[in-house]
Amino acid sequence: MPSLFDSITLGAIAAPNRILMAPLTRGRADKDAVPTDMMVEYYTQRASAGLIISEATGISREGLGWPFAPGLWTDAQVAAWKPVTDSVHAAGGRIVAQLWHMGRQVHSSVIGGQPVSSSATATEGQAHTFEGKQDFEVARPLELNEIPRLLKDYELATKNALAAGFDGVQIHAANGYLIDQFLRDNANLRTDEYGGSIENRVRLLREVAERVISVAGADRVSVRLSPNGDSQGVDDSNPEPLFTAAAKVLSDLGIAFLELREPGPDGTFGKTDVPKLSPAIRKVFKGVLIVNSDYTTVEEAQAELDSGNADAITFGRTFIANPDLPERLRTGAPLAKDDAKTWYSQGPEGYIDYPALETANA
């Protein structure tokens, strides 16, 4: 069985190890979703990851409701991402952009209009806004004649990601955001060709993947799914046939890798007793399969590889306070603890002030 420290080929990307950095929303862009200078240092500090998957990055203002998250729909955003990717590459790293449309998980005060979703539904709880948390609003269903425009938004974001120097893209189809809202039957109440049957509910995911592949090539495209939960109230009555069907579609398209966000009963973000579906998905997805959720030790991550259910692991929160995580795991060094109060501080604290091991020891 491969080790966490063995290299792996992820489509067109040669990764030197199987310790990948999961997407982590950090909120350090400006109000126009333009990356800031701090983000160059943050990502460069973590360049030893086998691959960095960027924080979720909006494909449009409609789709980006998280305050101070970055985007990829304007020339200014592209120009500001370029120093990030250049610096990561200069440090020997690899980085892909995660493409994000949040669907109903936004607030009109941020996006400037009513949220959109598969159907006229609302998320329970409150949305993050520039003025603090506000109640989620009822979304309007995307009209059939709007789907081509949505696909063009994904196409533009993919072109912009490549122009900004990213090595590829990941389609965010997990965690209760727009594509997940189309996939799951408690959010998708449509009666047209995008609703009802599993084949119809998977249609948008397939069309988005096909459009993104048409720009970047299948070997530079990946997808994130969250089949067993962590979906912000977006659930399905029978997830196994749904997500094995989705995985089969993606396998047939030949994407570079599929990442599964699989929370457990003690998950940091989302807790569930729903069994993990990676074993079932492994049977139908023939490409590189990667799993994620609260891995913090070599032993538990290596056990996942040894089981045959995954080819690599994405580490999330652990990368916040441990920018040189692969080296710490390789040497058995202690892991630093992060401070959740500074995750979204908008400043350098809790962002670029966690030292590498050699600095910490000194």
- To the nearest whole percent, how much of the chain has pLDDT over 90? 91
For domain 8-361, which CATH number applies: 2.40.110.10, 3.40.190.10, 3.20.20.70, 3.40.1520.20?
Answer: 3.20.20.70
pLDDT value of position 292: 94
The closest alpha carbon to 19, from 40, 31, 5, belongs to: 5
Q: Which range among 48-57, 65-74, 262-271, 305-314 shows the weakest confidence by mean pLDDT?
A: 262-271
More confidently predicted of 200 and 275 = 200
Domain range list for the chain: 8-361
* Spacing of C-alpha 193 from chain mean position: 26
List the beta bridge partners of residue 135. 126
Q: Characterize the bridge pairing of strands 13-15 and 52-58.
A: unpaired
pLDDT value of position 110: 97
pLDDT value of position 357: 86
Do 155 and 214 contact (CB within 8 A), yes or no?
yes
- How do residues 280-306 score in pLDDT, each as one tens digit? 999 999 999 999 988 889 999 999 999
Q: Which range among 37-46, 221-230, 251-260, 301-310 shows the weakest confidence by mean pLDDT?
A: 221-230
d(CA 92, CA 79): 21
Residue 362 has pLDDT above 60, yes or no: no
The closest alpha carbon to 277, from 240, 234, 247, belongs to: 240
pLDDT value of position 294: 81
d(CA 216, CA 138): 34
Average pLDDT of the residues in 22-29: 97
Average pLDDT of the residues in 257-263: 94
- To the nearest whole percent, how much of the chain has pLDDT over 70? 96
Ordered alpha helix ranges (H), the chain: 37-45, 75-90, 108-111, 147-163, 178-183, 198-201, 203-216, 239-253, 278-284, 298-307, 318-321, 325-331, 357-361
H/E stretch holding 99 reads: strand 95-100
Q: Tell me the pLDDT of the chain averaged across its residues.
A: 95
Residue 220 exposure: Cα atoms within 13 Å on the Cβ side = 20
Do 9 and 290 contact (CB within 8 A), yes or no?
no
pLDDT value of position 228: 86
Q: How many of the other CB atoms lie within 10 Å of CB of 225? A: 26
Terminal C-alpha separation, the chain: 36
- How do residues 82-128 score in pLDDT, each as one tens digit? 999 999 999 999 999 999 999 999 999 999 999 999 999 999 999 99
- Annotated catalytic residue 194: no
Average pLDDT of the residues in 73-87: 98
Residue 233 has pLDDT above 90, yes or no: no
Band (pLDDT 50/70/90 cuts) for residue 156 is very high
pLDDT value of position 266: 62
Active-site residue (options: 177, 194, 295, 351): 177
pLDDT value of position 270: 61
Residues in contact with 282: Cβ distance below 8 Å, sequence separation at least 6, in sequence order:
289, 308, 309, 310
pLDDT value of position 235: 86
Amino acid making up residue 154: Y
